[in-house]
Structure formats: structure tokens, C-alpha cells
């Protein structure tokens, strides 16, 4: 017979007391675990709810930023298409002139500012005095009063 069986048959009360101590220890451990889970689970649940809410807020923010970027991207695409279209229209209208005389005729067609004439000398009377203007723009306005 094994020694544990021999001890059981020699002093069964001692073995029963040991068995009761083990069972009591196991019950207190289970009770402590239950109490810990009872106290800890609501805190973990609150923590998980916080994390979920934070993730939902982050998702909403990122989706709104993504939508704004998509709108901006579409606007830039439309602008780029418009610019390419206008450049194509300019290229089709433009004739490639390499002759110097054509370039000079284009310069003559441009608007220019009026030039000052250094030899213009006009007199007019202003409150009984003679005033001489030595240079005056050619703009077609009569300054004689």
C-alpha cells in the first residue's frame, strides 16, 4: 500500500482536517477572484467604452478630413483641366511666327503709354502771367484757357 493510503487508515481525522483546510482555501480563493472580477469588470467596461468613443471620434474626424481633401482634390483637378483646356485653345490660336517683321508689327499693335515731347512749348495766360510748358504729353486735350 502507498504511504498516503497508510496515513489515511492510521489517522483519518487528520486527513479529514487537511481536506477541510484545502477546501476552505479553495473556496476563499474563488470568493476573492469573484470579488475582484465583480469590482474590476465595470472599470474595464468603462475603459473599453472610453476607448470605443475615442475611436469613433477619431473616425469621424478622419472621414471629415478625407471628404474635405477629396473636395479640394476635385477642385484642383477641375482647375488643372480648365488651365490645360485654355492652354490648348491658346496654342491652337497662336501661329508660330518667326519672321522679325511680324514680331515688330505685333509690337506696334500693343497699347503704349503716351510719350513726352521735349520740344513742345506752349504759352497760356493764367491770372495775368505767362506760363511756359516745356514738355507736355500728346494726349489730344487742349490746355489753352
pLDDT for 5-49, tens place per residue? 777 778 888 888 999 999 999 999 999 999 999 999 999 999 999
pLDDT at 123: 46
pTM of the model: 0.40
The span from the CA of 128 to the CA of 145, in Å, is 12
Identify the DSSP state of 100. H
Judged against a pLDDT cut of 80, whether residue 130 lies above it is answered with no
Tell me the per-residue pLDDT of 85-122, one tens digit each, with 9 for 90 and over. 888 777 666 655 445 566 666 666 665 555 544 444 44
Identify the residue whose cell numbers are 490648348: 88
Residue 116, classed as helix, strand or coil, is: strand
In the chain, which residue ranges form alpha helices assigned H by DSSP?
A: 3-10, 12-93, 100-109
Instruction: Write out the three cell numbers for 119.
Output: 520740344
Residue 127: how many other CB atoms lie within 10 Å: 5
Amino acid at each position: 500500500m502507498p504511504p498516503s493510503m497508510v496515513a489515511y487508515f492510521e489517522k483519518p481525522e487528520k486527513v479529514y482536517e487537511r481536506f477541510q483546510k484545502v477546501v476552505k482555501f479553495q473556496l476563499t480563493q474563488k470568493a476573492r477572484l469573484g470579488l475582484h472580477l465583480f469590482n474590476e469588470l465595470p472599470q474595464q467596461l468603462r475603459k473599453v467604452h472610453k476607448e470605443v468613443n475615442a475611436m469613433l471620434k477619431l473616425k469621424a474626424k478622419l472621414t471629415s478630413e478625407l471628404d474635405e481633401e477629396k473636395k479640394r482634390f476635385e477642385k484642383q483637378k477641375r482647375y488643372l483641366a480648365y488651365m490645360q483646356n485654355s492652354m490648348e485653345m491658346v496654342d491652337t490660336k497662336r501661329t508660330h511666327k518667326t519672321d522679325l517683321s511680324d514680331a515688330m508689327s505685333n509690337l506696334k499693335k500693343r497699347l503704349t503709354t503716351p510719350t513726352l515731347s521735349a520740344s513742345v512749348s506752349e504759352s497760356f495766360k493764367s491770372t495775368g502771367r505767362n506760363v511756359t510748358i516745356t514738355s507736355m504729353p500728346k494726349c489730344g486735350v487742349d490746355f489753352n484757357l
